Amino acid sequence: MQTLVLSIEGMTCEHCVMRVRRALSESAGVESVEVSLADGKAVVKGHALDPASLIHAVEAIGYSAKISDNQHTKQEEVPGWNSKAQ
Question: What domains does the chain contain, in order, with CATH numbers?
Answer: 2-67 (3.30.70.100)
Give the CA diameter of the chain: 52
In order, the DSSP letters of 13-52 are SHHHHHHHHHHHHTSTTEEEEEEETTTTEEEEEESS--HH
Q: What is the mean pLDDT of residues 79-84?
A: 44
What value does the CA radius of gyration of the chain take, rounded to a whole number of Å?
A: 14
Give the per-residue pLDDT at 69: 78
Q: What is the mean pLDDT of residues 64-79?
A: 65
Tally of CB atoms within 10 A around 37: 14
9-34 pLDDT tens trace? 999 999 999 999 999 999 999 999 99
